[in-house]
Amino acid sequence: MSSGDTAMDATAAPPAADAADRPLIELVNVSKHYRGSGLTGQAGAPVLAVAGVDLAVPPGASVGIVGESGCGKSTLGRVVVGLEKPTGGAVLLRGKRVADMGHGERRASRREIQMMFQDPYAALNPRMTLDRIIEEPLRARGGISRTDRRDRVRRLADEVGISAAQLGRYPRELSGGQRQRVGLARALATNPALIVADEPVSALDVSVRSQILNLMASLQAEHNIGYLMISHDLTVIHYFTDHVVVMYLGKFVESGPPEELFRSPAHHYTQALIDAAPDPVPGRATAVTIRGELPSAAAPPSGCRFRTRCPAAQDRCAEEEPVLRAFGPAHQAACHFPLKEAVPA
């Protein structure tokens, strides 16, 4: 992924294309640094949470990001939704740089991208009734009459499976699944084109998890919503998304269609994640392919960042950083000694 336009071969749009054909959101060489704080003993050393990534989400598509905690996937989600400003590179919404937008335009663009959190309880105001919670983004937007807002809240609630009788309740009176439904209704209130869903079902029981995933899928079909789904759970990502990105220490190490990526990965890190993922098949124990934990993002290893934990690392991996190469249509990986042959350039 050397430039933004080739970020996703299958979906990249030519630079001159009409705004309507452009990816909904595009990240071009985006980085996000944090200044190391004195508390961690690394005063001054910048932590590179996201280190120059290219990503495009076409309208109505579902893109998944997987990786361990600390790999930068949540930071990336916050950059996409506008909660964090990138320290390098550009974020484009329908082909236009967000940084170049005026105040009003940026506000309007924010409404197009909404966020869904892992713990809806922490994300919902405990002092507000459900109808107020769902209505709030509409009030913030302004220009909609009270009656129309009420109407819209009822329709949104109905769509996510919250009954009119429940709308007068408070978040604490709901189960985790119902709270996630309210979070979804709130996210939908402004008719977003993209929902960034950070571990949306991780905190839920399996029975409820499948209800929420079914709901997210049907809302997508109905409204052509795109999802950027961030999760550590490979089965969820495999089931839900059309394109998967594997992140390691702020970089994309592999990306591709889920069937291919999970059946025949090129990167050793992807293989390690697959081996470690619990799969409910009796006798199929999770396997430990890599030891240890993520190194510090403040001092990433030289060359390939994964080499310190990689079973196939050689001298070259410490000296030279691997670049993303093609392994198939829309399938890329950055590895000097991949698990399969790269497509000749």
Partner 1 sequence: MTDTTKQANSGGPVLRVSGLDVDIKLPHSVVHAVQGVSLEVSRGETVGVVGESGCGKSTLGLALAGLLPPEAVARGSIQVGDRELVGLRERQLRAIRGTEVGIVFQDPMTSLNPTKRIGAQVGEALRLQRGVGKAAALEAAADMLDRVGLPRPREQLSRFPHELSGGMRQRVVIAAALICEPVVLVADEPTTALDVTTQAQILELFDRLSDELGMATLLVTHDMGVVAGHADRVFVMYAGREAESGETRAIFDEPRHRYTGALLGSVLRMETPRRSRLGTIPGRPPDLTAPAAGCPFAPRCEAAADDCGTALPEASADGGHRWSCLHPIDSEQPKLVAEAQDEFR
Check residue 210 for interaction with partner 1 (CB under 8 A). yes
The residues facing 230 across adjacent strands are: 65, 198
Check residue 287 for interaction with partner 1 (CB under 8 A). yes
Q: How many other CB atoms are there within 10 angstroms of residue 283's CB atom?
A: 4
Check residue 283 for interaction with partner 1 (CB under 8 A). yes
Check residue 272 for interaction with partner 1 (CB under 8 A). yes
**Residue whose CB is less far from partner 1, 68 or 112:** 68
Distances (CA, A) of 16 to 27, 53, 282: 17, 22, 53
Check residue 213 for interaction with partner 1 (CB under 8 A). yes
Cβ-based neighbours of 228, under 8 Å, separated by 6 or more = 25, 57, 62, 63, 64, 65, 77, 80, 194, 195, 196, 197
**Residue whose CB is less far from partner 1, 29 or 42:** 42
Check residue 281 for interaction with partner 1 (CB under 8 A). yes
Q: Which of residues 53-112 bind partner 1 (CB under 8 A)?
A: 68-69
Cβ-based neighbours of 284, under 8 Å, separated by 6 or more = none
Among the listed ranges 50-58, 81-89, 276-284, 334-342, the one in contact with partner 1 (CB under 8 A) is 276-284
Check residue 286 for interaction with partner 1 (CB under 8 A). yes
Among the listed ranges 45-53, 205-213, 320-328, 336-344, the one in contact with partner 1 (CB under 8 A) is 205-213
**Residue whose CB is less far from partner 1, 125 or 286:** 286
* Per-residue mark of binding to partner 1, 119-158 (x: CB under 8 A): ----------------------------------------
- What is the Cβ-side half-sphere exposure of residue 320, based on CA atoms within 13 angstroms? 10
The sign one gets for the Cα dihedral 232, 261, 311, 31 is: negative
Q: How far apart are CA 238 and CA 331, in angstroms?
A: 15
**Residue whose CB is less far from partner 1, 213 or 342:** 213
Q: What tokens does 178 get? A: 């119902």
Q: Which of 108, 128, 144, 217 is close enough to bind partner 1 by CB under 8 A?
A: 217
DSSP secondary structure string, 108-156? Answer: HHHHHEEEE-S-HHHHS-TTS-HHHHHHHHHHHH----HHHHHHHHHHH
Check residue 284 for interaction with partner 1 (CB under 8 A). yes
Residue type, 163: S
Q: Which of 13, 61, 290, 333 is close enough to bind partner 1 by CB under 8 A?
A: 290
Q: How far apart are CA 254 and CA 248, in angstroms?
A: 9
Closest CB 278 distance from partner 1, rounded Å: 3
Among the listed ranges 3-11, 90-98, 182-190, 228-236, the one in contact with partner 1 (CB under 8 A) is 228-236
Residues that bind partner 1 (CB under 8 A): 68-69, 175-176, 205-211, 213-214, 217, 232-236, 238-240, 258-259, 262-263, 272-288, 290-293
